Structure 1
Amino acid sequence: MIDISDPAIYGAGDAVATWAQLRATRPVFWNQPAGGEGFWAIMTYAPALQVYRDAATFTSEGGMRVGADRAAVEAAAGRMLIVSDPPHHTSLRQALNPAFRPAAVRALATSMRRAVEPLIEENLTRETVEFVSEVAAIIPAAVICDLMGVPESDRPMMIALTSRAFGASVAGETTGRPADMLDRAEAHAEIFLYYDDLVEERRRHPGDDLVSTLVHSEIDGRRLTNEEVLLNCDGLVTGANETTRHAFVGGLLALIENPDQWRGLREGTLDVDTAVEEVLRYTSPAMHVKRVVTADVELGGQLVEAGQAVAVWNPSVNRDEQIFPDPERFDLARRPNRHLTLGHGPHNCLGGLLARQELRILLEVLRERVTTMELVGPVRRLYSNFIWGFEQLPVRLR
């Protein structure tokens, strides 16, 4: 019996065929990990949409990933945006929303280009570029520094720390390299300590940034504690880095593997905005989203009981043949493209517009500056059941 949460499935790179088989035979099924808590795995679109839309029946306060540390979930539940439910989730989201509205995101376009253009330019003459760590990790780190109000003098340090903290494998899931895991944990701790100091600074001297917003907003009639501010800072930094970074990498690999799509993008016969949506669908970096059921409910023909967990398996859902014709085709002209990569309903990704803007600018700069892209070494996927992404992608850009 397959365990869909086994990270070895994803490190080996053979997940797509497994998902297709499950969609055809077991679209909603009980998954029982060896020695872990079981959950209902959701592999198709309709039941996934049901879960995303109904925050009352499917609570986020039981944690958002399978296998998460229970004590950590309990410490953050109801206090951190991604593991809270309305009305607290609604209040916190409303306070943060202005920074992620279309006008605010458009205002960041210039600084995004300043981060992307020189990075691509300096790598055009190198024989090998390790795209994961040397390009894709740097761009979202620079953008989140803008949003969080990190002073210019501290940004090189914070970008370097962020690249270390969100390095190859997801914490707790690695094929072995304990030194790498320790380095990531230390870098993450340094980021936490930095934001602890920044929170105190913004209490005294507020600015026009997300840390100041979290510190000074009234949420449910009160100010957030320092711990609550830090939990949400950590959530914002993590969310801003993980999804966008792996969409960058998976998108570049897909363009290399589909030269007709790259040619169409370069020649302008394929639209960049449509291309962004297909990259998001095809890469689906946030592999699963967990919820806990608050009342008995039917889901995909299965009776799911109150107290049980469900997990939407996003890359499989985004390949549901009933919604996406020829789903394994990387088609930058795909329309409609109602993917669920960034969620849906009350918990749709707060930074969705920001992720799209970053991806749009990367694609624009690539088509303006790069003629050819090729793989020059083995591709290695993450050994993770939470992020469907990449550990290594060596390429040559010209």
Structure 2
Amino acid sequence: MNVLNRRQALQRALLNGKNKQDAYHPFPWYELMRKDAPVSFDEENQVWSVFLYDDVKKVVGDKELFSSYMPQQTSSIGNSIINMDPPKHTKIRSVVNKAFTPRVMKQWEPRIQEITDELIQKCQGRSEFDLVHDFSYPLPVIVISELLGVPSAHMDQFKAWSDLLVSTPKDKSEEAEKAFLEERDKCEEELAAFFAGIIEEKRNKPAQDIISILVEAEETGEKLSGEELIPFCTLLLVVGNETTTNLISNAMYSILETPGVYEELRSHPELMPQAVEEALRFRAPAPVLRRIAKRDTKIGGHLIKEGDMVLAFVASANRDEAKFDRPHMFDIRRHPNPHIAFGHGIHFCLGAPLARLEANIALTSLISAFPHMECVSITPIENSVIYGLKSFRVKM
């Protein structure tokens, strides 16, 4: 199967799954698959799907058996470290890790709090607002813009690029797939040109931001090239935007739908880190990851052959009854909580510390600022690879 056909098969397989589930409540479908077909094969698209915790963790984390590499990727995200294997992955990850140390994250904490407070202030005095539009969307975009060293004036353009890069074709028709790929390729070109200019600027005039850190970073005498930096900047833009926005929105929805939790967190803000971890388990922003088998192997008694594509449903694994007690209950005191919302193994999400920091600050500040909050309405994101809300209206 060539690269284009493989990509189209993946999109169709994801659409097949999406068509069988409610956009914001796919959990009954996951439960059904865990019971009836925990390892299933899509004959039409030649794609495997796995749903149990141990199987998903193995597929996602075993670098000897499963690869993240997709040959001849054309997209910048496709060429980023999430789709690399060692040794190239090891080299680039060791460099970019320098931008996400606890010390670097600690330095950004006051600024994240400041941005959070400014956004909350704009919402105060209103009887109702859209938590996504007014808070959980602008916060991560402003933060990631400043972290990268990009003027926040580009925020709306960043959001448009980011949304397009994680979108999927409208349907399974060839026309829809062709239009989608053309639009995405144009977006990739615009982003590459944009970041190339920013990177050159930072080489000449470094500042206190992540791109400057990466430009200056050296590992075993090697610096990252522009060809390596641009895909990573694109990845960081998308992950730092989409994942954190949806983490905050999903967490607040889970808090509000569970009686007594909002009040408990207001009285005991020290529980927020556990609440964030439970939100990651309960409503993972990235519900599915893709891998390719490096050699013949067995999962759940099924032979997966070398070269086969596998979809690992992280959101299903995080509700596996064999791993979690009362998995369908949102329990902010859950311990232990070995969720794999950020992946597992060498591809564990690099931006996890930043996402956790933003979510903890955002949710603690929101609950502190508003004595009462309730959900008015939600509009789910219609996307098979991103799980979250397009709109989330709340009233005070």
Scaled to the shorter chain, the TM-score interval is: 0.7 to 0.9
Residue identity in the other structure for 1:72: T
Q: 2:159 aligns with which of 157, 163, 185?
A: 163
Distance in 2 (CA, whole Å) between partners of 1:200 and 1:299 is 47
Residue identity in the other structure for 1:331: D
Contact in 2 for aligned 1:11/1:381 (Cα 8 Å)? no
Please provide the CA RMSD for this pair.
2.9
Cα displacement (A) at 1:367: 2.3
> After alignment, is 188-197 or 318-327 more displaced?
188-197
* Matching of residues 242-253 of structure 1 within 5 Å: 242-253=242-253
* Matching of residues 252-331 of structure 1 within 5 Å: 252-268=252-268, 271-331=271-331
SS of residue paired to 1:359: helix
Are the structure 2 counterparts of residues 52 and 3 from structure 1 closer, same or farther at C-alpha, using a change threshold of 3 Å? closer
Cα displacement (A) at 1:255: 1.5
Distance in 1 (CA, whole Å) between partners of 2:39 and 2:216 is 43
Are the structure 2 counterparts of residues 124 and 38 from structure 1 closer, same or farther at C-alpha, using a change threshold of 3 Å? farther
Q: 1:54 aligns with which of 48, 59, 62?
A: 62
Contact in 1 for aligned 2:296/2:303 (Cα 8 Å)? yes
- The C-alpha deviation readout for 1:206-242, integer Å capped at 9, x for no partner, is 3343222433444676444323321111011111111
Distance in 1 (CA, whole Å) between partners of 2:384 and 2:394 is 25
Distance in 2 (CA, whole Å) between partners of 1:163 and 1:3 is 26
Q: What does residue 332 of structure 1 align with? A: 332
Q: 1:172 aligns with which of 160, 168, 172?
A: 168
* Matching of residues 31-180 of structure 1 within 5 Å: 31-32=42-43, 37-62=45-70, 71-72=73-74, 79-150=79-150, 154-155=151-152, 157-167=153-163, 170-174=166-170
Q: What does residue 67 of structure 1 align with? A: none
Are the structure 2 counterparts of residues 12 and 341 from structure 1 closer, same or farther at C-alpha, using a change threshold of 3 Å? closer
Q: What does residue 386 of structure 2 align with? A: 387
SS of residue paired to 2:260: helix
Are the structure 2 counterparts of residues 354 and 71 from structure 1 closer, same or farther at C-alpha, using a change threshold of 3 Å? closer
Distance in 1 (CA, whole Å) between partners of 2:161 and 2:363 is 25
Distance in 2 (CA, whole Å) between partners of 1:285 and 1:9 is 19
Cα displacement (A) at 1:134: 2.1
Are the structure 2 counterparts of residues 57 and 96 from structure 1 closer, same or farther at C-alpha, using a change threshold of 3 Å? same
Contact in 1 for aligned 2:50/2:310 (Cα 8 Å)? yes
Are the structure 2 counterparts of residues 295 and 189 from structure 1 closer, same or farther at C-alpha, using a change threshold of 3 Å? closer
Are the structure 2 counterparts of residues 160 and 366 from structure 1 closer, same or farther at C-alpha, using a change threshold of 3 Å? same
Cα displacement (A) at 1:45: 0.5
In the alignment of these two chains, the number of paired residues is 378
Are the structure 2 counterparts of residues 352 and 19 from structure 1 closer, same or farther at C-alpha, using a change threshold of 3 Å? same
Contact in 2 for aligned 1:131/1:249 (Cα 8 Å)? yes
SS of residue paired to 1:367: helix
- The C-alpha deviation readout for 1:295-345, integer Å capped at 9, x for no partner, is 111112221110101111111010001111111111111111000000111
Residue identity in the other structure for 2:74: A
Distance in 1 (CA, whole Å) between partners of 2:111 and 2:19 is 38
Distance in 2 (CA, whole Å) between partners of 1:330 and 1:71 is 39
Cα displacement (A) at 1:195: 1.8
Residue identity in the other structure for 1:230: I
- The C-alpha deviation readout for 1:13-48, integer Å capped at 9, x for no partner, is 44111100111111111124x5xx322111011111
Are the structure 2 counterparts of residues 8 and 121 from structure 1 closer, same or farther at C-alpha, using a change threshold of 3 Å? farther
Cα displacement (A) at 1:198: 0.7
Residue identity in the other structure for 1:52: V
Q: What does residue 200 of structure 1 align with? A: 200
SS of residue paired to 2:332: coil
Distance in 1 (CA, whole Å) between partners of 2:206 and 2:229 is 14
Distance in 2 (CA, whole Å) between partners of 1:314 and 1:61 is 19
Cα displacement (A) at 1:250: 0.9
Contact in 2 for aligned 1:30/1:41 (Cα 8 Å)? yes
Distance in 1 (CA, whole Å) between partners of 2:187 and 2:129 is 23
Q: What does residue 30 of structure 1 align with? A: 41
SS of residue paired to 2:74: helix
TM-score (norm 2): 0.86
> After alignment, is 87-96 or 116-125 more displaced?
116-125
Residue identity in the other structure for 2:57: L
4+ runs of 1 displaced by more than 2 Å?
2-14, 70-73, 124-128, 158-176, 181-194, 205-210, 212-228
Are the structure 2 counterparts of residues 167 and 393 from structure 1 closer, same or farther at C-alpha, using a change threshold of 3 Å? farther
Cα displacement (A) at 1:174: 4.5
TM-score (norm 1): 0.86
Contact in 2 for aligned 1:166/1:242 (Cα 8 Å)? yes
Distance in 1 (CA, whole Å) between partners of 2:257 and 2:182 is 34
Structure 1 gap segments, 5+ residues each: 64-69
Are the structure 2 counterparts of residues 342 and 142 from structure 1 closer, same or farther at C-alpha, using a change threshold of 3 Å? same
Cα displacement (A) at 1:184: 9.6
